[in-house]
Every structure is written in C-alpha cells, then in structure tokens.
Structure 1
Amino acid sequence: MKDLLDIRKDIDKIDEQIVKLYEERMKLTSDVAEYKINTGKQVFDKEREESKLATLQKKAESDFTRHGIRELFEQIMAMSRKKQYKLLTEHGIMPPQEFEPIHTLDYSNARIVFQGLEGAYSQLAMEQFFGENCNNFHVESWKDAMEAIKNGEADYAVLPIENSSAGIVSENYDLLVEYDNYIVGEQIIRIDHALLGLEDADERDIRTVYSHKQSLMQCSEFLDSHADWEKFSVSNNAVAAKKVKEDGEISHAAIASAKNAQIYGLKVLRNSIQNNKNNSTRFIVVTGKKVYTDQADRISICFEINHESGALYHALSHFIYNGLNMTNIQSRPLQNKNWEYRFFVDFEGRFEDHAVQNALRGLREETIAFRILGTY
C-alpha cells in the first residue's frame, strides 16, 4: 500500500499543474474579452457553454467524474465570465445609466401619500422621513399609493416592506415589480402596539379584536393568552381603531399605536403587547423617477432564474466574487409558474463602484427579467 505522504505529494504536483493551467486559461480569457469589446458580443453565451460542457463530460471515464467535470468547468467558465465583466468595466464600457444622480431629494413642495388613516404607522414613518409638516394625504390601499405616483397625484409614497418579527410585507414586494416606481429612501421605526378599547371598557370585557394582519402576527403571544377572542384583519391599524370607536361595542378592541387612543377617543387597555419588545418595521420611500442621491449606498434589485440546479448559486456568486455584502434576500412566487420564484436582493454599494458595476453586469446578462428597484 502506498504511503499517505507520498500520495499527498503526488496530489500536490497535480494541483500545481492545475493552477498553472488555470492561469493560462485566464490569460486567454483576456483575449476573449478584447474580442468581445471590439465586436460588442455578449459575455454570456449559454448555448456555447452547454455544448462545451457536454463535450468535456464525454471525456470522463465514470459517472462520478462526469458529474465532477461538469461542476468544475461550470465554475471555471463562471470565473472566466467574471473576469471578462471586470475587463469590460476597466475599459470604460458601461451599460447605459438608468438612474440620474442628484445631490439630495427635493421634497419642499412634494406631495406624499401613505396608506391608512391618521395615526397609521405609515404616517409616523412619513413624518420621521419628510417632517411633520409635509404635504400629505392618505389612501385606502398600498396599491392606491403606487397608483397615486403613477397618475401624478403624489411625488412620493411611504410603504412598509419588512417587520423584524413578522417578516416581509409580500404585497409591497409584488407592487415594486408591477409599477415603474423606484426606491429612494428608507425609514425604520419602532413599532409599539397597544390594546385600545372604549373609554368605559376593561380588558376583561373584550371578545373581538381588529388590526392589520401583520400586527396580529406581531402580537400572537398576547392573543394566544386570550384564545377565546375573535381576531379580524383590517386594512390598517388606524382603521381598526376608528372602527372600534364607531361601532361603540364595549367588547371590541383594536391593536394599534397608543397615539390612536388620542386621535379616536379610545382608552389604552394595555401597552406594549407585541412579542418582540424591540419590534421595528422598515419602510421604503418610492417615487416615479429614476434618481439617487449622493448618500445612496444600498441597492435593491430583483431577478428571475432558470429552474435548474445551481442557478441561484451562480447568480449570488457575483456578490461573493466582487466582495459585496448582501443585507437581504427574499423570494416571491411567479404568477402562472408553479414553484418558480422571483428573487429580491438588497446589497451594500454605490453605483460608481467598479465592483457594483461588475456584479450588475453579470446579473443582467445571466438572469431573467433583471431590474434595479432603486438605490438609497
């Protein structure tokens, strides 16, 4: 039997040869990039790569090595593409600039729209971002808010996108795809839910609770301790508070911010009933213009991929190769395509950075329905 150290020495020699051959191959990649620069040919040629992989697999002697050969050369080809994207950027060959840089957002005379009624958390987020005296109005649904921008009735909309306890607001991810509106800012606010009832009510009187479905989830532990209460979802927490006041039923309560007790003449029956005492919601600010400010250092994108093994890995590898930090990744099902998904990614970076341009170029070429949703 051969000694293990001798085997490892033989492996080391082969590895050295692989490294030299890999470096030679990458030098040829530069020639390929130069050709594509001169001809305008796209870097990613899926048909060519599939043909090449099939040819290489036929040279393998077993099923195990055939599988390994494919995986190995998929990686080599992916690295080759990444180098070509990098060389294109270094030669100043950039995709058309979709977004206009501006110094700062001008909202001195802007019209701001939020969903819900006075007292909604969206209103609080809006006031923290734009100021309490901003020119604003409210609409019934998040879709109505996006429509208001589309129709020119509003310049900005404030929408919740993610809660630290209940997760994403899926409808608003879908609306970002449905509308040509773009993220230009975000505002994170602490969410402190209170149980609100009529002035002469007591917690022991309550039998029915109204709130937004996200808030019901965020207060699930408290509600589970009152298993006999009926829970009903409404479009907004402030809507729930207003309904309790208008119904005038002593057995009805709303989950909303304590501010709603003052606005709608209710009483706080219990404060801070959310599961997570550090409960927070991230709101996005969207507009109909493709702009970004000097301070923008986060980018949001979405894309689809082929429904095949390794597709998501190869897409995300562009962030790894370019040293970009992803801060969020979510998925939403595609309509009319069961079990296929659209992916949403937030990552740190600035449009002007070469690493960002390299990653965006690769994702644009190698994914489906790629979109930049904004930088902020």
Structure 2
Amino acid sequence: MRQIDLLREQIDKIDDQILKLINRRATLAIHIGREKSRINAANHFHVPQREREIIDRLKQINEGPFPNAAVESVFREVFSATLALEKPLRIAHLGPETTFTHQAAIKQFGHSARFLSCNSIESVFSYVEAEKADYGVVPIENSIEGVINLTLDCFVDSPLVICDETKLPIALYLLSKSGKASAIKEIHSHPQPLAQCRIWLNRNMPNVPQVPASSTAAAAGMAARRKDTAAIAGKLAAEMYQLKIVAENIQDRAENHTRFLVIGKEPVHRAKRNKTSVMFSIKDEAGSLLKTLQLFARNKINLTKIQSRPLRNRPWEYLFYLDFEGHREDPTVTRVLETLRKRCLFMKVLGSYPKKA
C-alpha cells in the first residue's frame, strides 16, 4: 500500500472517532437541556457565556496546526447543530441574505439557526421584543465610519440587553452584470459601504451617481436586474446574484471591520472576561463629564469606548455611550454603577457580556 493510502486510512479512522464523539457530545447536551427544563422551565435554553468559555478554553490549549479562528468556526457549528436538535435558535438580522449583518449572524450562531431577515434596525429590536426571535444581530460601529447612531437610539426605549458581540472583517467589491467599469451609469449600496469607499469612488468613478439602498443585498439585486447599474457589496453577494467583480477591496482602508451586537431579553452571567455597556445623560454644567469619568478611573475600571449622541427632541442635550471592562455583577462595577445612577439625569445598563479577545 502506498504511503498516501496509509495516511488516508488513518484520517478515515480519526473521522470515525470524531463523528462518534460529536454524537456523544450532542446526546449529553440534550440531557443537559432536559435537566435545565426540569429545574426551571422558564430558563433560557441557550447560554452564550458557556459557549464563550468553551471556545476560549479550547483556544488556550490548542497546539496547532489547526488555527484558533478555525477552531472557533468549527465549534460554533457544533453548538448550532446541537441546539437545533432541541429547538433551532431564531435570529433576527438586518437586511436580506448575504448582507454583512447576515454573515455576522451566521458566524455567531452557525448555519443550523433559523435566520429572520428584517428591513431595518428598529425591526430587529421589534422582532426580539415580540419574541418572534430569540436574538437579534445589529451593527454598532465600523472601524472607518464609526458608531451606527440608529442602533444607539433604539436602545434608549428598548428593554433588550446586549448579550454578546462579534466582529467581521469587511471587504467591499464593485459588482455589475457585465463586469465592465465603462458600462456603469449608477452605483448602488447601503450608505455605510458608500462612505467606506468614498476615496476610491472619488478617484476612480468621480462622475458616476451614488444611490443609497436599504442594504448591500438590495443593491446587488438591483445590479443583477440592470446592465448599467453597479453595486458595492461583499463577495458573497456576487455569487448569490451572479454578478461579476469590477474591482475588489475598494474600501478606503485595508483594515476595515464592523462590530455587531447580539441583543436579547435575558442578561447573561459572568464569563471569564467581560465587557459592560451603559448609556447616560448628565447635567449640562462645568466638569460634569470629567467627574463621571473620574469615577471609573478611581476604581481602576478600564474604559474601552466613549461616544456622545444628541438626545432626540432635546436640542443641545447629549447622551453618552460607554463601554468598559468588567461585569455588572462584579462588586466594584456594581458600586460604580450605583454611584453613577445617582449623578445622572438618565442612566441605563445596556448589558454585560463576554469580551472578545
């Protein structure tokens, strides 16, 4: 027998073992689900912080050559398929299939979840609030264009909390039916990708009108129907809508990432590493913001983001959005949040959730 056949035989045996172990793991997970239902029928069957703990532990002990990113992808699919044996998770997301939010939802929940397309960020919140979906996935910030203000606005009046976060690298392509730049009379895309490609478009297509679309998928659909129309979207949209690539990686910066939030009804318990998000408004007086930030500094809490946003229907008053390390159940964080609440005109904890590495 040739050496290559011997190696393939070993791989077949390993595959057989992996299959048996996956099925054994699924059986144990089903038993755990039944036990949780027996103890507390109202308890949510999905525990995101447990998934994060498993992935972090596996990455820590991984000696390769299988890369950590692939380890996470494989186990996300294992989690997804296992949950589907009991009840598939229903995930609301912004935009049709192939949008970046849809891709982020698949990355977070695996292909076995049931994905529900929504035409606006407000609709994603509404689906979860009405229990039409178990979770929602919404964009919160882009490394080029900054915070998605509409997502922040939705949190003001919503009872939902942040349960997790995920990041997705964004590679943008100019797509059309012909693949010829000379045939393009209009360029369609969501306003965010249009803004992320502003320099490239001004340099390469300065006289071509840019038309905002509800999503990158909607833009790709338009380009598929009209020969003189191009879309800015991801590579997956080119495959889905049978479009040709006119230009690739046209975003203004190579390191282009979007951060997405997973929103749900139930707060999540502590993981090994955590992040908390809050929003608040304070009195418009000298030093008020400084005093607020010093509260975190004195308690050695590391702030990872601060963002201001005008309050709706209240000119010249601002809402502040803050991310910091720690969990709301940590004694120090609990004490700081209690003090902050007393000092603020309005304060809301948006959630504590596992922090990504």
Q: TM-score, normalised by structure 2?
A: 0.74
Does structure 1 residue 187 correspond to structure 2 residue 166?
yes
How far apart in 1 are the matches of 2:245 and 2:323?
38
* 8 Å contact kept, 1:184–1:292: no
Does structure 1 residue 119 correspond to structure 2 residue 65?
no
Give the match for residue 245 of structure 1: 224
Aligned length in residues = 274
Does structure 1 residue 207 correspond to structure 2 residue 153?
no
Give the match for residue 107 of structure 2: 128
Q: Which amino acid aligns with 2:333?
A: V
How far apart in 1 are the matches of 2:194 and 2:282?
34
Does structure 1 residue 104 correspond to structure 2 residue 50?
yes
Does structure 1 residue 357 correspond to structure 2 residue 334?
yes
Give the match for residue 94 of structure 1: none
Give the match for residue 267 of structure 1: 244
How far apart in 1 are the matches of 2:343 and 2:143?
32
How far apart in 1 are the matches of 2:339 and 2:299?
11
SS at match of 1:292: coil
SS at match of 1:291: coil
Shift of 1:273: 0.2
* 8 Å contact kept, 1:327–1:348: yes
How far apart in 2 are the matches of 1:354 and 1:271?
49
> Deviation per CA, 1:318-364, whole angstroms, max 9, x where unpaired?
11110011101111111222111010000001234332122111111
SS at match of 2:253: coil
Give the match for residue 31 of structure 1: none
Shift of the 150–353 alpha-carbon distance from structure 1 to 2, 3 Å rule, reads: closer
> Deviation per CA, 1:216-250, whole angstroms, max 9, x where unpaired?
1100011111210100111111111011112x2x2
Q: Which amino acid aligns with 1:363?
A: L
Residues 279-290 of structure 1: matches in 2 within 5 Å? 279-290=256-267
Answer with 1 or 2: which has the greater Rg: 1
* 8 Å contact kept, 1:292–1:374: no
Q: Alignment partner for residue 142 of structure 2, among 126, 145, 163?
A: 163
How far apart in 1 are the matches of 2:351 and 2:345?
18
* 8 Å contact kept, 2:304–2:323: yes
Give the match for residue 17 of structure 2: none
Give the match for residue 9 of structure 2: none
SS at match of 2:250: coil
How far apart in 2 are the matches of 1:363 and 1:186?
24
Q: Which amino acid aligns with 1:137?
A: L
Give the match for residue 8 of structure 1: none
Identical residues among aligned pairs (%): 32
SS at match of 1:303: strand
SS at match of 2:92: strand
How far apart in 2 are the matches of 1:314 and 1:345?
14
Q: Which amino acid aligns with 1:210?
A: H
SS at match of 1:362: helix
* 8 Å contact kept, 2:93–2:101: yes
How far apart in 1 are the matches of 2:332 and 2:297?
10
SS at match of 1:294: coil
Does structure 1 residue 140 correspond to structure 2 residue 123?
no
How far apart in 2 are the matches of 1:115 and 1:293?
28
How far apart in 1 are the matches of 2:243 and 2:329?
51
* 8 Å contact kept, 1:322–1:358: no
Structure 2: tracts of 5 or more residues without a match: 1-43, 52-78
Residues 323-338 of structure 1: matches in 2 within 5 Å? 323-338=300-315
How far apart in 2 are the matches of 1:104 and 1:293?
9
Q: TM-score, normalised by structure 1?
A: 0.70
How far apart in 2 are the matches of 1:351 and 1:228?
52
SS at match of 2:201: helix
How far apart in 2 are the matches of 1:112 and 1:147?
12
RMSD of aligned residue pairs (Cα, Å): 1.8
* 8 Å contact kept, 2:278–2:351: yes
